């Protein structure tokens, strides 16, 4: 059992921990948090050894009644791999610590691609991470785009991607984030940085992205136009995407009209935290006209990168190859709708 430490136990970290714990070939050797809030209580209840992410917070944990297994340095020493899920920017600061300790590490999408050996998406470039010591799992939006581009590229070639990313303003527990009643071009400059991020996975891809932010918390929404190298039918496309394990093609009969009902569907299915690890593509929206594909997909920002983190662990440590890793991950989590 590979010992995995999780440094940063918030939205992403707690989900990575649960996903690792669900795998047959790895175990959570500890999680590090910066403050003793209800998340710390959750970690303890799940039986994860609790570490203080910051040395100056040890007392705060003690006062709140938590027994600590140590600080993040101890956690790193304990781990065979570290998944860093600290707030954006802190992963970059932590990388030298992992390197110094000789522990392979994964950082999240907000960190720069320059700091790691490769950016990672299991479906698209698993092999690039094999044996690597520092890997970055791309952001939720880039993960969602990569899972689409990979099969399209393989089957038809992709001439150009034009994507409008209508992004949620904050996660459901981020009470301080807005906007309340606004639609914001974000960034205003076009194309946005999201396209170049996809290029860390598909260096040759021609992609232009435009970003927006809206007052919603549940999921991002992608409005997509993709020029293909050939002209398949809409039905063929629907079938192709339906065959991808990490893409869920929303059926017309389901009467799911947006992200609210999608998450309700996930809750009804008993998904932990109502998570949707898969890209959610409206089948009815898939339309090919003169080799141009149009479609809508919703991306659950809190969870779509979770299986990717698990697969990255296997790629880096050689626990399994791409097909086997994705199969094990999907089976352990119950991915596939």
Q: By CB under 8 A, what part of segment 145-164 binds its own copies?
A: 162, 164
> Shortest Cβ distance from residue 218 to ligand NAD (Å)?
11
Identify which range of 120-128, 149-157, 208-216, 235-243 contacts its own copies by CB under 8 A. Answer: 208-216
d(CA 142, CA 283): 21
Among positions 239, 264, 321, 324, the unique one binding its own copies when judged by CB under 8 A: 264
Tell the residue number behind the tokens 């994964």, with chain if given: 106
Q: By CB under 6 A, what part of segment 216-275 binds ligand NAD?
A: none
Q: Is 97 helix (H, G, I), strand (E, B) or coil?
A: helix
Decide: is 90 part of the binding site for ligand NAD (CB under 6 A): yes
Bridge partner residues of 223 (DSSP)? 164, 296
Q: Which two tokens stand for residue 7?
A: 């440094």
The answer to whether the CB of 214 falls within 8 A of the CB of 169 is: yes
Binding string, 120-159, against ligand NAD, x = CB under 6 A? -------------------xx-------------------
CB nearer ligand NAD, residue 73 or residue 208: 73
Q: Which helix (H) or strand (E) holds 273?
A: none
Q: By CB under 6 A, what part of segment 294-333 binds ligand NAD?
A: 301-302, 305
Q: By CB under 8 A, what part of segment 90-129 binds its own copies?
A: none
CB nearer its own copies, residue 96 or residue 185: 185
The answer to whether the CB of 107 falls within 8 A of the CB of 115 is: yes
The answer to whether the CB of 101 falls within 8 A of the CB of 301 is: no
| CB contact set of 252 (below 8 Å; sequence gap of 6+) | 283, 284
Among positions 22, 58, 69, 212, the unique one binding its own copies when judged by CB under 8 A: 212
Cis peptide before 129 (omega within 30 of 0): no
Among positions 261, 291, 322, 331, the unique one binding its own copies when judged by CB under 8 A: 261
Among positions 114, 180, 318, 323, the unique one binding its own copies when judged by CB under 8 A: 180
Decide: is 54 part of the binding site for ligand NAD (CB under 6 A): yes
Phi, psi (rounded to 5 degrees) for 104: -60, 145
CB nearer its own copies, residue 275 or residue 308: 275
d(CA 29, CA 33): 14
Q: Is 310 helix (H, G, I), strand (E, B) or coil?
A: helix
> Shortest Cβ distance from residue 170 to its own copies (Å)?
6
d(CA 294, CA 39): 40
Q: Using CB distances below 5 to 8 A depending on partner kind, what does residue 215 bind out of its own copies, ligand NAD, none?
A: its own copies
Among positions 205, 284, 291, 331, the unique one binding its own copies when judged by CB under 8 A: 284
Q: Is 222 helix (H, G, I), strand (E, B) or coil?
A: strand
> Which residues are the active-site residues?
140
Q: Using CB distances below 5 to 8 A depending on partner kind, what does residue 336 bind out of ligand NAD, its own copies, none?
A: none
> Helix, strand, coil % (nearest 5) of the chain?
40, 25, 35
Q: Which two tokens stand for residue 75?
A: 């956690």
CB nearer its own copies, residue 280 or residue 312: 280
> Shortest Cβ distance from residue 36 to its own copies (Å)?
6
Tell the residue number behind the tokens 């999780």, with chain if given: 6
Decide: is 257 part of the binding site for its own copies (CB under 8 A): yes
- Applying CB under 6 A, the residues found at the interface with ligand NAD are 7-13, 32-35, 39, 53-54, 72, 85-88, 90-91, 108-110, 139-140, 171, 301-302, 305
């Amino acid at each position: 059992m590979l010992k995995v430490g999780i440094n940063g136990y918030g939205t992403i970290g707690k989900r990575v921990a649960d996903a690792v714990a669900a795998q047959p070939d790895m175990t959570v050797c500890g999680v590090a948090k910066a403050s003793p809030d209800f998340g710390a209580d959750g970690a303890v209840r799940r039986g994860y050894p609790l570490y203080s992410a910051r040395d100056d917070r040890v007392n705060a944990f003690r006062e709140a009644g938590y027994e600590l297994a140590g600080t993040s340095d101890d956690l790193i020493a304990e781990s065979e791999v570290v998944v860093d899920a600290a707030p954006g920017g802190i992963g970059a600061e932590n990388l030298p610590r992992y390197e110094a300790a000789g522990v392979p590490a994964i950082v999240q999408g907000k960190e720069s691609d320059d700091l790691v050996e490769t950016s990672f998406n299991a479906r698209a470039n698993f092999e690039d991470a094999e044996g690597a010591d520092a890997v970055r799992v791309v952001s939720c939006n880039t993960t969602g785009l990569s899972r689409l581009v990979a099969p399209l590229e393989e089957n038809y070639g992709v001439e150009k991607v034009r994507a409008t990313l209508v992004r949620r303003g904050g996660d459901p527990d981020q009470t301080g984030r807005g906007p309340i009643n606004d639609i914001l071009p974000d960034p205003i400059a076009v194309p946005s940085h999201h396209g170049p991020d996809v290029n860390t996975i598909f260096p040759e891809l021609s992609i232009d992205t435009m970003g927006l932010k809206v007052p919603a918390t549940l999921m991002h929404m992608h409005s997509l136009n993709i020029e293909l190298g050939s002209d398949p039918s809409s039905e063929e496309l629907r079938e192709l995407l339906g065959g991808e394990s990490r893409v869920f093609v929303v059926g017309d009969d389901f009467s799911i009209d947006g992200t609210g009902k999608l998450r309700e569907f996930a809750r009804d299915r008993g998904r932990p935290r109502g998570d949707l690890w898969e890209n959610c593509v409206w089948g009815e929206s898939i339309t090919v006209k003169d080799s141009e594909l149009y479609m809508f997909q919703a991306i659950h920002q809190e969870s779509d990168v979770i299986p990717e983190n698990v697969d990255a662990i296997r790629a880096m440590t050689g626990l399994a190859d791409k097909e086997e890793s994705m199969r094990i991950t999907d089976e352990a989590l119950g991915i596939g709708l």
